[in-house]
Amino acid sequence: MIKTKSKGDLIIISGTTCAGKGTVIKKLLSNHNDIVLSISYTSRPKRDSEIDGIDYYFVSEEEFEKKIKNNEFLEYAKVQYKAYYGTPKREVLQQLEKGKDVILEIDVQGAKQIKKLYPETILIFIMAPSMNEVKRRIKLRGDENNEQILARFKVAYNEINEINNYNYVVVNDDLDDAVKKVEAILISEKLRVDRIEEASVENEEEIIHEFLINKKFKNEKNY
């Protein structure tokens, strides 16, 4: 009786450094076959542990700039080490038309770009419980010096100042709990009234039938 829009949802998940957003996303993908992760393009060199088409689509800077001219990205930016990163437009829109929910794991600047183009995008910000916890997680990695850690903190504070641009904030102090909260957000978004395409009873006979049953029930109840 209620028909909802079959098109998938565009979901942006951002977060501060060491907030665990990547782990939350992996858990979501393993729990739901109808959710996919958009694979970004980048012009930076591929690391030995990375797989082209799985971690990123690795292209040259010239190829990336050609794609920019051809308007092939939903959003893009030139970030660390002067490398390009971008979200492919065609692949994302195709998945949405198939009814798949698409997650974009991007930063706050990319989120702003996409929100302007697609206001219906669901924006979720993942945070660590505290900056002390962020510091602890960075130290556990053991691959950064104090200067690099300080730089990460500065970026994290700037990102936190942008959370008003998001629809939801989830604190990742427990992975399973954080995943459940994100799942609850996605379920509630599916139940929004503005997603209803059509609401009606099947035919006039059904209306009459329901009326007669209710009337009979009320009469029998009086005896």
CATH code: domain of residue 135: 3.40.50.300
Q: What is the pTM of this model?
A: 0.81
The answer to whether residue 54 is domain-embedded is no
The answer to whether residue 129 is domain-embedded is yes
The answer to whether residue 65 is domain-embedded is no
Q: Indicate the pLDDT class of residue 3, thresholds 50, 70 and 90.
A: low
The answer to whether residue 77 is domain-embedded is no
The answer to whether residue 22 is domain-embedded is yes
Q: Of 207 and 152, which is predicted with more confidence?
A: 152
Per-residue pLDDT tens over the stretch 178-201: 999 999 999 999 988 877 765 555
The answer to whether residue 92 is domain-embedded is no
Task: Report the 10 Å Cβ neighbour count for 213.
Answer: 10
Per-residue pLDDT tens over the stretch 106-154: 999 899 999 999 999 999 999 988 888 877 877 777 666 777 777 777 8
Apex 167 CA angle, 29 and 56, nearest 5: 40
Three-class SS of 147-196: HHHHHHHHHHHHHHCCHHHCCEEEECCCHHHHHHHHHHHHHHHHCCHHHE
Rounded Cα distance, 18 and 30, in Å: 21
Per-residue pLDDT tens over the stretch 35-93: 999 999 999 999 898 999 999 999 999 999 999 999 999 999 987 668 999 999 999 99
Rounded Cα distance, 26 and 11, in Å: 14
Per-residue pLDDT tens over the stretch 142-174: 666 777 777 777 877 888 888 999 999 999 999
Total number of domains in the chain: 1
Which residues have C-beta within 8 Å of that of residue 39, sequence separation ≥ 6? 53, 54, 55, 56, 57, 88, 91
Q: Of 114 and 203, which is predicted with more confidence?
A: 114
The answer to whether residue 160 is domain-embedded is yes
β-strands 196-199, 2-4 pairing = antiparallel
Give the structural domain span for 142.
2-38+99-221
Rounded Cα distance, 132 and 127, in Å: 12
The answer to whether residue 182 is domain-embedded is yes
pLDDT of 214 above 90: no
Residue 39's nearest CA partner among 77, 112, 90 is 90
